[in-house]
Every structure is written in structure tokens, then in C-alpha cells.
Amino acid sequence: MARTVAAFKVDHFQFLGSDGKLLDGQQVPALARDFERLTELYKLMVLTRTFDKKAVALQRTGKLGTYASCLGHEAAHIAIGASMQEEDCFAPMYREYGAQFCRGVKMSDVLLYWGGDERGNDFSGPKHDFAWCVPIATQCLHAAGAAMAYKLRQEPRVAVSVVGDGGSSKGDFLEAINAASAWKLPLVLVIVNNQWAISVPRSKQNNAATLAQKGIAGGLPSIQVDGNDLIACLWAMDKAVTAARQGKGAFVIEMMTYRLSDHTTADDARRYRPQDEVDDAWDHEPIARLRRYLIDQQVWDDEREQTLLEESAETVQQAADEYLDIVANKPQPVTAMFDYMYAELPHDLAEQRAYAEEFPEDGGHH
């Protein structure tokens, strides 16, 4: 005799259509009418995209190292940062600049990091946030550890981390889910599903109907939202962060978006990705969608848009100039590569550091 011992579902939430219209038949959250908040976040989305374009240009002209673009992810990333309080902890991956800008990280800090300057990892903003994490998905365990500390200390703080669709296949992500479930941790894990893990499409990586259900397998409430709909992303994040802060445990959110850029500037997505797929994704991108909505609600117009574009360009250029000035006039010595990882250097690295000290600081060669 067979009997059902458990059954599950994953709900998908979207409030704002690609045409900038609220979807019919939806119970729209109150924040959809909070035009002051939405306008400020729209400005930050545009600023983030302006920064992203400038960073790519700096890399292409040899003034920046390999850079990971966030083009198309603006709604997801801004929603993550906007939902958090300063005392919360953010454990980023390596392209969530919008979330970090919400938390006070300077654009010049981001540029320093991608320029190979370790001072970029000592970024402005909350010092309890984690540095950028290039090893895939390990940041999820860092966030779980922080959440455990908050629970043990009985502090009303929340840890938030982000992983991609590819990273959600790593054991680190699943282990973070298991720890959060077993210990009811104040943790929010966001899967920003941009459809491509470098050159591997979502369709070839996992046959599950959703990635959110990985959270359900671990015993966590898990939902999927349209990652190009700022209202849906922000609603989900507010819901999850509030629940975690109230001691109700962890939450998994899958945000469905699309990587409009190459994976990094070291990648050429044209080699593996069909152009018609990219063209279609541009029809659903988050900034144009929110702009149409704000214009329809008569809280935005072309004049404000032009002013925003000009101000954003000026702000980004100032950050680029600050970065370039540091590189030109305040460079780090070559020994800096050894100085930010260990309290006491292992003997082999100490030997290498001593050898590196023999190099002249002007970058000359023996």
C-alpha cells in the first residue's frame, strides 16, 4: 500500500509585466504604490548599469583587470541590498555591485578590487560584510556561519548570500541549506538564475523544474520570482528578511533573470549562446520595465530620465578618476599580495615575500 507522506510546490511570483503594466488578477503588494522608494531604487539601478558600462570600458582599454559584469541583474541585486539593514551581513559572490552600493560600498572600491589592488577588498560600508568571493558557492557557508553566530548571541540580525544557477549545484550551497534548516538560522539564500553558468545552459545543468526546490529538499520555505521585476524581488526579499529576523528561520528565493553580458570580460558568449535568445532577453530586462511603470504612474518622465543619465555618468566618472589616481599615484608595493590573508605568514610564503622585497617599487626588473 502506498501513501503520500509529503507533497510540495514552488510558487512563482510576478507583479510587473515586461510592458511596465501591473499584471491582471494579481494581489499587488503595497510597495508597488510606494513610488518614492521605487523611484530611488530605479535611480540606483540606472547608476549601477552606468557603472557597469564604464568598468567594461576600463577593462577594454587596459586600465582594469578581468571584470564580471552585472548587466541585466540590476533588479535582483538592488532588491537584495535594499531589503537589508546595516547590521545585517552580506556575503556576496562577485557581481552583486548594486546590492553593495545599497550598503555603502564605493564604486572606486569595486574598481580597485578588479584592478588587482587588495585595498579594494577593505571596502567602505559595513565592516561585518564579507569580501568578494570567487570560489563558487563558498560564500553561502560563510553566511550560514554568520547566521549561526547571530542566533547564538540572540541578535536580531540576518545573513544574506547570493549564488548563481551554476553555483546552486555545489555542495557548499546545499550544505548551507542543511545547516540553516537543522538549526533554524536567520539566513536568506538567493539564487540569481541568469540561465548560464559560464558556457553551460541551465537546461544542461539540472533537470529539476526549478532551482528553488533545492531549498524545499532541505526543509526551507522556497519560492521563485521574476528576477526582472523589481517589485517582485523586493517583496520576496522583504518577506524573507523579516521572517528570518523574527526567528522564523531561513528562506530560499530563486530570481529568474538573464545574463545580458559575457560571463566576464575574459569570456565571449557569442561562441556558445544564440543571438536570438539574447535579443529576446533584452525585451524583458528590468530597467526599461520599471521605467515604463513609473512613467505610466506619472512619477517619472523624459526630463527626469535625461537628468539622471547625466548625473549618473558624472558620478561614475568621478569614481573612475579616483581609482585611476590611486593606481597612478598611490600604488601598493609588490609585497602587498602577501599581506592580507594571514595573521602570520606560513614559512613558504614568508620566503616568497622576502624575495619579492628585492624588487624595486617602481616596477622595474632585475
At 252 the three-state DSSP class reads strand
Asked if residue 248 belongs to a domain, the reply is yes
297 is a domain residue: yes
Catalytic residues: 259, 263, 272
What's the number of domains the chain is made of? Answer: 1
CB 13 within 8 A of CB 223: yes
For the full predicted model, state whether its pTM sits above 0.85.
yes
323, three cell numbers: 581609482
Collapsed DSSP state (helix, strand, coil) of residue 227: coil
Which pLDDT belongs to residue 362? 57
Domain annotation covers residue 364: no
What pLDDT was estimated at residue 334? 87
Give pLDDT, residue 366. Answer: 42
Contact between 255 and 192 under an 8 Å Cβ cutoff? The reply is yes
303 in a domain, yes or no? yes
139-193 tens-digit pLDDT: 999 999 999 999 999 999 999 999 999 999 999 999 999 999 999 999 999 999 9
Whether 254 maps to a domain, the answer reads yes
> Is 225 contained in some domain?
yes
Cα–Cα distance for residue pair 185/149, rounded to 1 Å: 9
Q: Is residue 350, in this structure, part of any structural domain at all?
A: no
Whichever domain contains 210, its CATH number is 3.40.50.970
In a domain, 160, yes or no: yes
Phi, psi dihedrals of residue 67, rounded to the nearest 5°: -130, 140
Rounded average pLDDT over 286-290: 98
Domain span holding position 219: 12-196+205-308
Model confidence at 361, pLDDT cuts 50, 70, 90, reads low
Q: Are 211 and 167 in contact (CB under 8 A)?
A: no
Q: What does R_g of the chain's alpha carbons equal in angstroms?
A: 21
Give the pLDDT confidence of 90-145 residue by residue, as tens digits: 999 999 999 999 999 999 999 999 999 989 999 999 999 999 999 999 999 999 99
